[in-house]
A and B are shown apart, each in its own frame.
Chain A
Amino acid sequence: MLINWFRFSSPVSFYPVAGSWSYAFGAIAALLAGAGLVVALYIAPADATQGDAYRIIFIHVPAAWMAMLIYLVMAGWSALALGFNTRLSAMMAQALAPTGALMAAIALWTGAFWGRPTWGTYWAWDARMTSTLILLFLYLGIIALRAAIEDPRRADRACALLALVGAVNVPIIYFSVQWWNTLHQGSSISLTGAPKMAMTMLAGILIMTIAAWCYTIAVVLARVQAIIVERERGAGWLESLIDLRAAR
């Protein structure tokens, strides 16, 4: 199937597509999250050493992966925005930042409540925890920087630069458990080699991860719609949307 992707590079043609995709991915996310929660909280057996405390992994790991992935995607859109000066790329980067911050916050929050029963502390200045906290601050910094600059096109460029510079933090988070020998454990799942956990646990994590992907796509597309309407006001094509929405 041949799709003319350039058609979607302008807000005008992307807007209706974003709406329908948002609802579709939202529905898939809800279904997967429901199934994933049943596996996570009910089907998966208790861990031999951690008991039921380990069940936090089913939100902690997908959220932490998502927080890093969203940053890379945001940096990618930022690079496109800087390189080609395209409005929609900058809008995508703008729409991704709050959800990235949310995922980083969830990873830190769930990690604290997992660390207390297993390590004996809610927080430590461990390499991975600290670098993930910096990731959260980067997201919040990008959001604050945009809010501080009046002209949206200047804000686009400033935020894109900050996003690109901050991208250096993502490999630091990823490799932190190898580079420094502090509290956080190494990864139990890798692309090479067998995972070090039971099949139902692995299945639960993968279902929740796909749910997190779909959720992110759904909520970011909904936010980019709001951003398009906020920023393209005054452009004639938006007026026809009012009739569209009233007819719904």
Chain B
Amino acid sequence: MSEFLAMGGYAWYVWMAYGGAALAIAVEIASVRARRKRAFDELRMSVEPTLRSPSMLGARGDR
């Protein structure tokens, strides 16, 4: 296992490359999901005025 992680002495380069790419992809997936959720929440608020109050906003997670 430690031999695998060592990458023949190139551990810093290989794992920085793979780690950076993985992090960037994770951030993109999270931001797209958040954007879609935000768009829906704003749409919902625009058609259901009763949902405008902050307490109701907090309860949206259970939908």
Contacts and interface: CB of A to CB of B under 8 A. Distances in A.
A126 to B, nearest CB: 18
A110 B20 contact: yes
Contacts of A230: 39, 42
B17 A60 contact: yes
Chain B at the A interface: SS class? helix
Nearest 4 interchain pairs by C-beta = A52-B8, A229-B39, A226-B36, A53-B10
B17 A59 contact: yes
B44 to A, nearest CB: 5
Interface in A99-141: 99, 102, 105-106, 109-110, 113-114, 116-117
Given A42-B4, A222-B36, A233 B43 contact: yes
B43 A229 contact: yes
Nearest to B31: A98
A99 B16 CA distance: 20
Interface string B20-49: 110011001100110110111011101110
A63 B21 contact: yes
B7 interface: yes
Nearest to B34: A226
Interface of B: 4, 7-10, 12-14, 16-18, 20-21, 24-25, 28-29, 32-33, 35-36, 38-40, 42-44, 46-48, 63
A233 B42 contact: yes
Q: Which of B21, B35, B39, B46 has the most CB of A within 10 A?
A: B21
A56 B47 contact: no
B19 to A, nearest CB: 10
Contacts of A56: 13-14, 17-18
Interface stretch (A72-80, A175-183, A198-206, A237-245): A237-245
B28 A245 contact: no
Contact of A55 (B14, B24, B28, B33): B14
B32 to A, nearest CB: 5
Contact of A109 (B7, B8, B21): B21
Given A110-B17, A226-B38, A229-B39, 8 more contacts: A52-B14, A56-B13, A105-B24, A106-B24, A113-B20, A223-B36, A229-B43, A242-B43
